[in-house]
Amino acid sequence: MTIPGSKANIGSETRAPEVLALEALGWALADERRAERLLSLTGLTPERLRGGISDTAVQAAVLEFLAAYEPDLILAADALDTTPEALIAAQQELSR
């Protein structure tokens, strides 16, 4: 049984993968240490982020960054009112 409004209902995510990626990027950039780690681990630059924000490869890289570190994945999902599984599914969709 799924409780209405529960995050356990993975299939209920209505936001597009691109929207989740942009929300996740905003969440990641809100913390200076996490933002620095994002840039370091993804190889993205601030300029590439600004210029490529609509690029699905950049969006997928942001979600892949979260997927690679479970504590951030869980924190981001909670902050974005979604599930870790929904973020992973969005990353997979954007990587196609």
The rounded distance, in Å, linking the Cα atoms of 75 and 10 is: 16
Which residues, including other chains, have CB under 8 Å from residue 21's CB and lie 6 or more apart? Answer: 59, 60, 62, 63, 90, 91, 94
Query: Which pLDDT band holds residue 7 (cuts at 50, 70, 90)?
Result: very low
85 pLDDT higher than 70: yes
Mean pLDDT (the chain, rounded): 90
Which residues, including other chains, have CB under 8 Å from residue 10's CB and lie 6 or more apart? Answer: 83, 85, 86, 89
The rounded distance, in Å, linking the Cα atoms of 13 and 17 is: 10
What pTM was estimated for this model as a whole? 0.85
Q: What is the mean pLDDT of residues 58-83?
A: 97
84 pLDDT higher than 90: yes
The rounded distance, in Å, linking the Cα atoms of 18 and 28 is: 15
